[in-house]
Structure 1
Amino acid sequence: MSVQDRLTDALYGLGWSAVKKLPEPVAVRLGRTIADVAWKRRGKGVRRLESNYARVVPDASPERLAELSRAGMRSYLRYWMESFRLPAWSEERIRDGFTLKDSHLLTDSIAAGRGVVLALPHMANWDLAGAWVTTDQKIPFTTVAERLKPESLYDRFVAYREGLGMEVLPHSGGSAFGTLARRLRDGGLVCLVAERDLSASGVEVTFFGERTRIPAGPALLAQQTGALLMPVTLWYDDSPVMRGRVHPAIEVPESGTRAEKTSVMAQALADAFASGIADHPEDWHMLQRLWLADLEPRPSTGEPS
């Protein structure tokens, strides 16, 4: 392991061991202070966040985009402060920390024995939403985690999420899809963060007027298992409570090839995500490139432009 990797792992370890011991008001102030310092430095992540917000709010002035990126960094650090503290939260604290609108769409389907795929964008605190599902609703679920570097950091995240009651599968390796399909056929719940394609082989969709790719997995799982595909969006307001909404299920088209059905469902998923993000852009934590126009260009063919 390199020095950088050891440092990264140690910093995350310090967060989980130290921040969770802080009184909540102190952790809140610490997160806001770190967010403001990072925002003022305008590093690569902050600049990318602001660029992404420019797609979401195309008529925003530079001043408005700066306000959004500052609020976005505060939201992002709130996510981290909460996540570091989640393992020490009581069931009552988790239950009181989240309100989910139209949760019956999820619970009624699970109670009827039908599998559900919940697909979310990177909004607010998806870990808190997952902890609420497992502790308050008593519904176990399976999810997938990106393999992080160093490996020890990935292990920390897996242990953290398993400690919250989640079954965590590695994104790479090829066996995750089959396991997810079995869970769904058994009437289980699968939760996937799904607005950013990590495989470079996702489905092209229009997202805030421009082309990007999102994972095909949620739509394919629904097609192959008969599970319901439901988008979920999350947001913070001025209270300590995080809020969310379960959107109506995305239907599998009655006709078309598998690829055509997947394309239609993926676009519907992107549209649901976009509606939630447009309402609460500051709670969308996308500090990476997302749209195809922003990705690294392909190598030149040598032909004149």
Structure 2
Amino acid sequence: MSRAGDLLTVAGFRLGWAVVRALPEGAAYGIFDRVADVTVRRGGTGVRRLRANYARVRPDLNDVELDALVRRGMRAYLRYYCEAFRLPAMSAADVDAKVTVAGEGPVRAVLAAGGPVVCFLGHLGNWDLAGAWCCRALGRVVTVAERLEPEAVFAEFLDFRTLLGMTILPLTGGGDVFAGLRREAVGPVVVPLLADRDLTGGGVEVVFCGQPARMAIGPAALALAVGAPLFPVTIRHTRRGRGWGIDIRFHDPVAVPAEGSTRERAHTMTQRCADALGAVVADDPSDWHMLQRVFMADLDPVSGLGEDR
């Protein structure tokens, strides 16, 4: 992207943060729904990939049903950005009103005992809103962010998440991210990591929604390295009056295999996380806004990575 294009992109994000948070909640969501619908009608790389991913997850759907699912999925994807633009202006009471939580008891017990917790997240619902709630309700939160282009947009999102109370490590360009996580994962801290897509080529093959896929092994490897429990976490959007909120579910911590190498044990734990996420996604994929390649059939057979052009 040219420097002029970079500046326009950054200006667009800043305008979004300034304008969208000033709109009435219902109006803001309505605008983003209309943008999502237009995006689906125009097609494009992201829409095609979302449709292809949904078709693998739900091969039972006919074309009309799949079209409807893509429309709901794109609305959920744009809803995330609507909420991201509005989050910095939300009060603590606003955050609490938008979030319901299930299964957090074991997480609170570990934190109360002075230990860290590692969470395996998918691209479900709104993980930034979930992170804001975690900072308020559970304590210190440390996570990793993919470095976006242009760099100034990444800086905007970094500042945004830091403002919410999170400590953010960049996935690339900031040194050894795994070593950084090990240093940070000491004492009562929550480490939520998006892991349903392998960004580095170092992930592992799992079965996800009945299909071979690649996911990041980092959460399981970190849990083993620091002796922390690993919790799969799923997030769903739910209606809240004229707007939306989220339901966060902490699933049972995955069992640690008694035998095998560290990588073998981490692989098994990653598969168990994929099972937990997969059951939720297969039930209703619309909150899984994955616009990139994750299934083995779509990835480069050598690198294990894939980009849509």
Quickly name the TM-score band, shorter chain normalised.
over 0.9
8 Å contact from structure 1 (residues 39, 70) kept in 2: yes
1:165 aligns with 2:190: no
Q: What are the within-5 Å matches in structure 2 for residues 1-305 of structure 1?
A: 2-135=3-136, 137-172=137-172, 173-239=174-240, 240-296=244-300
Distance (whole Å) between structure 1 residues aligned to residue 10 and residue 43 of structure 2:
24
Q: Which runs of 4+ in 1 moved over 6 A?
A: none
Tell me which amino acid in the other structure corresponds to 1:102.
Answer: G
Query: Structure 1: how far apart are the matches of 2:301 and 2:250?
Result: 36
Q: Give 1:297 shift.
A: 5.9
1:196 Cα deviation (Å)?
0.4
TM-score (ref. length: structure 1): 0.94
User: Per the alignment, in what secondary structure is the counterpart of residue 292 of structure 2?
Assistant: coil
Aligned-partner Cα distance in 1 for 2:301–2:222: 31
Runs of 5+ unmatched residues, structure 1: 300-305
Amino acid at match of 1:232: V
User: Aligned partner of 2:237: which letter?
Assistant: Y
Q: Are the aligned partners of 2:209 and 2:279 in contact in 1 as well (CA < 8 Å)?
A: no
- The amino acid across from 2:63 in the alignment is P
Q: Deviations over 1:264-285 (max 9, x none)?
A: 1111111111012122310001
Runs of 5+ in structure 2 lacking a partner? 304-309
Structure 1 position 263, deviation (Å): 1.3
Residues 21-54 of structure 1: per-residue CA shift (max 9 Å, x gap): 1111110111111111111111211111111111
Could you tell which deviates more after superposition, 214-223 or 180-189?
Answer: 180-189
Residue 138 of structure 1 deviates from its aligned partner by: 4.7
Quote the offset at 1:87 in angstroms. 0.2
Contact 1:235 1:280 in 2 (8 A): no
Check the 8 A contact 1:183/1:189 in 2, yes or no.
Answer: no
Query: Share of identical aligned residues, percent?
Result: 44
Query: What residue in structure 2 maps to residue 303 of structure 1?
Result: none
How far, CA to CA, are the matches of 1:174 and 1:220 in structure 2? 18
Give the root-mean-square deviation of aligned CA atoms.
Answer: 1.5
Q: CA deviation at 1:296?
A: 4.2
Alignment deviations for residues 48-99 of structure 1 (CA, whole Å, 9 cap, x no partner): 1111111111111111100100001111111111110000001000001010
- Whether contact under 8 Å (1:117, 1:189) holds in the other structure is yes
Q: TM-score normalized by structure 2?
A: 0.92
SS in 2 for 1:237: strand
Contact 2:209–2:281 (CA<8 Å) still a contact in 1? Answer: no
Paired with 1:26 and 1:155, the residues of 2 have a C-alpha distance of 28
Q: 1:259 to 1:298 in 2, by over 3 A?
A: closer
Contact 2:100 2:246 in 1 (8 A): yes
Q: Is the 8 A contact 1:185 1:227 kept in 2?
A: no
